[in-house]
Amino acid sequence: MAGLAEAGLARELLMCWAGLIVIGAFLIAASIRRSPGMAVLVIGLSLLFAGAFEPWQAFAPIQGEDPDLIYWVGRYRFMGAIWAGAIVVAILLIVLCRMFPKRTK
């Protein structure tokens, strides 16, 4: 696999990382504001991301011994792990925001 196939994989991975950066920015804003509503928004964005890019497919078994495929699968698995971590952090943030609400003056 070379040429256009690898360019397509690289472009898709770039779009995935762009989506994860947006999700991460909202997650940071939700944690700074201690806002469970924004954390719910992060989960919603993660579900939209999942519908568009199917990051769980990164954990499927590798079919073939192509070194280029093995290279890209490693990158996709890392991206999928970051996506799963963002969802876990968002859920924990919702729980923490409910347990320790923001103090008002």
Q: Taking all residues of the chain, what is their mean pLDDT, rounded to a whole number?
A: 87
**Per the domain annotation, does 94 fall within a domain?**
yes
Which residues have C-beta within 8 Å of that of residue 35, sequence separation ≥ 6?
Answer: 29, 97, 102
Task: Compute CA 93 distance to the chain's CA centroid, rounded to the nearest angstrom.
Answer: 16
Q: What is the pLDDT of residue 24?
A: 92
Q: Residue 72 sits in which domain range?
A: 24-99
pTM to 2 decimals?
0.82
Q: Please give the C-alpha separations between residue 81 and each of 52, 74, 87, 96, 99, in angstroms, as whole numbers.
A: 16, 11, 10, 22, 27
**What percent of the chain lies above the pLDDT cut of 70?**
96
The total number of structural domains in the chain stands at 1
Helix axis angle, 4-33 to 67-99, nearest 10°: 10
Between residues 103 and 27, which one has the greater pLDDT? 27
**Per the domain annotation, does 1 fall within a domain?**
no
**Per the domain annotation, does 15 fall within a domain?**
no
**Per the domain annotation, does 52 fall within a domain?**
yes
Q: What is the pLDDT of residue 1?
A: 58
**Per the domain annotation, does 56 fall within a domain?**
yes
